[in-house]
Amino acid sequence: MKKSNTLFLVEIAIFGALSYLLDLLAGLMSFKIWAQGGSISIAMVPVFIMAFRWGLKGGLLTGFILGLLQLIIGPIWGVHFIQIFLDYIVAFVALGFAGVFAKQVVAAVKENNFKKVIYYVTFGSFIGCLLRFFAHYIAGVIFFSQLAPEGQPIEIYSLLYNGSFMLPSFILSTIVCLLIIKTAPRIFTFNKSVS
C-alpha cells in the first residue's frame, strides 16, 4: 500500500509539472491566442491521464498542482483575488472531474473495448473542460466587462473569448489522450486502486 501511495504522489507531481510545461510551450510557440490569457494547448492531457489512471482524487490534485504552478511561476493575468482563484485554481482543479469515469475507462481498457474507451474518455474530458470553461466564463463576466467590445453583452463576450480556446483545446486534448491510451494501455491496467 505504501508503494502505491508513493507512486501516486510522485505521479501527481510529475504530471502536474508536465501540464505546466506543456502550457508554457504553447505560449512559446505562439498558441496563446489572447493577450489576457487562454491558449490552445494539450496542457490538460496529463491532468486527464491522471484522472483516468487514479480517479477523481488523482485528477483533482494534478489540476491543483497545475494551477498552483501557474500562480507561482506565471505568467498570470489577474485583476482581483477572486478572479485569480477562479481562473487558476478552480478552473484547473475542475479538469480533474474527468476522473468520475476512471473506473469505466480502466474497465474498457482491460476489456480491450476501444469504442467504450472513446466514449468514456470523451465524456470525461468534456465534463472536465466544461467545468473549467464555467470557471473562466464566470470570472470573465464578473471581472472583465471593460474588455467587451462596445455594445456587446459581457455574457456573449466571455462565452466567445473562453470558448475560442477551450473548444479546440478540448478536441485536441481528447484526441491526444485517446492516442496515448491506444498506444500504451498498460498504464491503466497495473494493479492499483482507483479512487
- CATH code assigned at 109: 1.10.1760.20
**Cα 168 to Cα 175: distance, rounded to the nearest angstrom:** 11
The answer to whether position 170 is within a domain reads yes
**Cα 127 to Cα 121: distance, rounded to the nearest angstrom:** 10
The answer to whether position 111 is within a domain reads yes
Q: How confident is the model at residue 175 (pLDDT cuts 50, 70, 90)?
A: very high
- Average pLDDT of the chain is 89
Range of the domain at 133: 2-188
The answer to whether position 194 is within a domain reads no
> What total number of domains does the chain contain?
1
The answer to whether position 14 is within a domain reads yes
pLDDT at 23: 86
Q: Are 177 and 48 in contact (CB under 8 A)?
A: yes
- Does the pTM surpass 0.85? The reply is yes
Alpha helices in 40-193 (DSSP H): 45-54, 56-73, 81-84, 91-94, 102-110, 114-143, 154-183
Judged against a pLDDT cut of 90, whether residue 8 lies above it is answered with: yes
The answer to whether position 67 is within a domain reads yes
pLDDT at 191: 52
Least confident window among 37-46, 98-107, 186-195: 186-195
Backbone φ and ψ of 39, nearest 5°: -145, 155
At 55-108, the pLDDT tens digits run 999 999 999 999 999 999 877 777 788 999 999 999 999 999 999 999 999 999
The answer to whether position 195 is within a domain reads no
The answer to whether position 103 is within a domain reads yes
Judged against a pLDDT cut of 90, whether residue 194 lies above it is answered with: no
The answer to whether position 125 is within a domain reads yes
Least confident window among 76-80, 150-154, 176-180: 76-80
pLDDT at 188: 81
